[in-house]
């Protein structure tokens, strides 16, 4: 049975599909979106962070590490981990007297995750909820994803997947029969702009969405667009997204997701600069006006998720 790289599991979410849901965040993503709110999900390997306000600079982590992978960087006043040398033994986390060190990511089997998911089955039953697999990008771990979703369906648990669509088609196609709801991100319709904002172009993303739409499978297909002020929220791009989706046959709705900066603290913990630190969120009225543009095109639009 497949092993997977897990970031974390969140219980009783009401924002990631119908009803109350358990959300399993997987590690690994091919995109580097400037507004990413979970930078700790990007790498498949474990990430180590330091909560600066807790760090007493006692050098216990440096002295404890058997691989000599941790050193103090005076230029940024932080303890930095050389991941090329790190063996992921996590002694630095266990021995830190102030609990300042954090490890992001762990390995688990499908059976272990299914056991955790099953603990909340009564909530799924009474709320019409289920399980949502998010990331990172779930299709990075396509075999693990398929086995996990199949296990959920065998237990009668509704399934949803959140994807950026940047994956090989032969990774996506075998998993589709096990997905009840697919949330598909569209960030920008211009290939060059998409590359500037996320690190990759959008050709494969658009092609995969069109191929999924042509499959005529029974699952619900919902497009999500993160609305980032000044980067992808112009009317030209909004209409381009709308026109692309209008040509598809199975898109149930487009959800406009407001920009937020909830990941800033994690960037700080990872000793990474947050690219959009000065960017403010747009107003709800502005988002509603953008939703109205999509509705004029003939689509069903929603501000926010569920």
Architecture per CATH, domain 47-104, reads as 2-Layer Sandwich (3.30)
Residue from 48, 120, 106 nearest 78 by CA: 48
How far is the C-alpha of 203 from the C-alpha of 189, rounded, in Å? 9
Percent of the chain with pLDDT over 70: 99
- 188-245 pLDDT, tens digit per residue, is 999 999 999 999 999 999 999 999 999 988 899 999 999 999 999 999 999 999 999 9
Any residues with CB less than 8 A from the CB of 132 and at least 6 apart, and which? 13, 16, 17, 21, 22, 23, 24, 159, 160, 161, 162
**Tell me, what's the pLDDT at 217?**
82
pTM over cut 0.75: yes
Q: State in words which class domain 3-43+106-303 has.
A: alpha beta
| Predicted pLDDT of residue 1 | 59
Q: Residue 153 has what pLDDT?
A: 97
Per domain, the residue ranges of the chain are 3-43+106-303, 47-104
């Amino acid at each position: 049975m497949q092993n997977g790289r897990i970031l974390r599991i969140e219980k009783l979410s009401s924002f990631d599909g119908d009803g109350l849901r358990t959300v399993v965040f997987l590690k690994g993503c091919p995109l580097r979106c400037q507004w990413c709110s979970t930078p700790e999900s990007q790498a498949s390997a474990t990430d180590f962070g330091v909560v600066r306000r807790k760090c007493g600079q006692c050098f216990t982590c440096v002295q404890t590490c058997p691989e000599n992978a941790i050193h103090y960087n005076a230029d940024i006043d932080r303890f930095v981990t050389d991941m090329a040398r790190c063996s992921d033994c996590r002694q630095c986390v266990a021995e830190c007297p102030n609990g300042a060190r954090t490890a992001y990511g762990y390995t688990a089997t499908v059976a272990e995750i299914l056991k955790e998911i099953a603990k909340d089955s009564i909530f799924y039953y009474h709320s019409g909820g289920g399980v949502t697999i998010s990331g990172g990008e779930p299709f990075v771990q396509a075999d693990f994803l398929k086995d996990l979703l199949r296990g959920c369906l065998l237990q009668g648990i509704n399934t949803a997947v959140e994807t950026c669509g940047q994956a090989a088609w032969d990774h996506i196609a075998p998993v589709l029969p096990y997905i009840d709801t697919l949330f598909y991100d569209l960030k920008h319709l211009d290939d060059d702009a998409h590359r500037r904002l996320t690190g990759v172009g959008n050709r494969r993303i658009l092609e995969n969405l069109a191929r999924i739409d042509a499959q005529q499978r029974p699952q619900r297909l919902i497009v999500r667009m993160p609305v980032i002020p000044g980067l992808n929220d112009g009317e030209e791009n909004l209409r381009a997204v709308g026109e692309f989706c209008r040509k598809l046959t199975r898109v149930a709705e487009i959800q406009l997701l407001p920009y937020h900066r909830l990941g800033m603290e994690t960037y700080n913990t990872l000793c990474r600069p947050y690219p959009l630190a000065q960017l403010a969120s747009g107003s709800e009225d502005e988002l509603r006006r953008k939703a109205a543009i999509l509705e004029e095109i003939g689509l069903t639009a929603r501000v926010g998720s569920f």
